[in-house]
Amino acid sequence: MTPDSIAAMAGALRAGDRRALARAITLVESARADHRAQALALLDALGRDRQALRLGLSGTPGVGKSSFIEAMGLRLTGRGLRVAVLAVDPSSARSGGSILGDKTRMEQLSRDPNAFIRPSPSQAQMGGVARRTREAVALCEAAGFDVVLIETVGVGQSETMVAEMADLFVLLMAPAGGDELQGVKRGIMEMADLILVNKADGELLHTATRTQADYAGALRLLRRRLQDPDGFPKALTVSAATGAGLDAAWAEIEALAKWRRESGHWDKTRAAQAAHWFTQEVRQGLLAVLDRDPARSAMAALAADVAQGSRSPEAAAAEMLARLTKG
């Protein structure tokens, strides 16, 4: 891409063109060095003046994430909001295909002109997924989306990553007995701003209500966080199938977002997140240097010396670090 075509893509993207957005996300996902340079030029050209509500959403497969996003997304677009959905599916890196990329998911929402849905790409490692998702979020914000929903399956590492780039984090849970509730990791509970017990309908209504009460009790035992007003984190029941509780859940999300904006926690959290990702990028970049020549050959040679016993691991490591920092 030439500088002119990057400028054209930036213009189309800022005008809200979904095709330009899709192409831009493909560009930031590319591992090619020339694409990387273009992606950075594009992100630079777009600026950072627009903000969406970045909403992290997690839950185990089958809990109803796609049903929830479809139902909630349609409500939001119905109110005139523009909604982007980005999926983070670390399991796709292993299987080679994307589970969250299933075409039949969120069928109605995907046809809504005010929605944009992007399935998870298959990527080799968490660092790559994190960067790709962060940049995709930035692109959606530049394209003027009001809400960017970052969806992930409930496997620890990806949840932490999503929580570290979201303004608010919602955990979707299934109605369950008390034993299962105890299986929820404390760390994951602590990340949640809102726990929504889905499938609160029909025969499951009673169990869902009990589960919600259990979670509410468990949340009360957690340490109160600075960035929370009274009553948060909260547990509520919803039904993606009937729509029950969805408006109430959105009202809570809006109330919390408003409180954080007004109290300054919103900006503070975003600033801390940006600093965190900066550090992560540098660290990852340094690790990548080790995998490329000349560092790679130097590492191999020193490792061979260490294996033969001609040098100690510490002395060899000190020499390697000295070489790297020599400039």
Where residue 47 falls (left for φ over 0; alpha for ψ -120 to 50; beta otherwise) is left
Q: Which is nearer to ligand GDP, 42 or 87 (CB)?
A: 87
Interacting residues with ligand GDP between 161 and 220 (CB under 6 A):
198-199, 201-202, 204
Could you tell me which stretch among 137-145, 234-242, 277-285, 310-318 binds ligand GDP (CB under 6 A)?
Answer: 234-242
Separation of alpha carbons 156 and 15, rounded Å: 36
Q: Which is nearer to ligand GDP, 62 or 327 (CB)?
A: 62
Residue from the set 21, 42, 52, 63 that interacts with ligand GDP by CB under 6 A: 63
The sign one gets for the Cα dihedral 88, 94, 99, 102 is positive
Could you tell me which stretch among 77-85, 223-231, 238-246, 258-266 binds ligand GDP (CB under 6 A)?
Answer: 238-246
Token reading at 235: 């547990």
- Greatest C-alpha distance within the chain: 72
Could you tell me which stretch among 9-17, 112-120, 236-244, 289-297 binds ligand GDP (CB under 6 A)?
Answer: 236-244
Q: Which is nearer to ligand GDP, 67 or 269 (CB)?
A: 67
Q: Which is nearer to ligand GDP, 78 or 202 (CB)?
A: 202
Residue from the set 56, 59, 73, 121 that interacts with ligand GDP by CB under 6 A: 59
Q: Is 240 in the site for ligand GDP (CB under 6 A)?
A: yes
Could you tell me which stretch among 14-22, 58-66, 117-125, 216-224 binds ligand GDP (CB under 6 A)?
Answer: 58-66
Residue nearest to ligand GDP (CB): 64
Q: Which is nearer to ligand GDP, 211 or 239 (CB)?
A: 239
The closest alpha carbon to 174, from 240, 265, 242, 251, belongs to 240
Residue from the set 14, 18, 54, 65 that interacts with ligand GDP by CB under 6 A: 65
Residue from the set 72, 239, 246, 252 that interacts with ligand GDP by CB under 6 A: 239
Q: Which is nearer to ligand GDP, 67 or 263 (CB)?
A: 67
Q: Is 67 in the site for ligand GDP (CB under 6 A)?
A: yes
Residue from the set 66, 77, 114, 212 that interacts with ligand GDP by CB under 6 A: 66
Closest distance between ligand GDP and the C-beta of residue 73, in Å? Answer: 12
Q: Is 104 in the site for ligand GDP (CB under 6 A)?
A: no
- Interaction site with ligand GDP (CB under 6 A): 59, 61-67, 198-199, 201-202, 204, 239-241
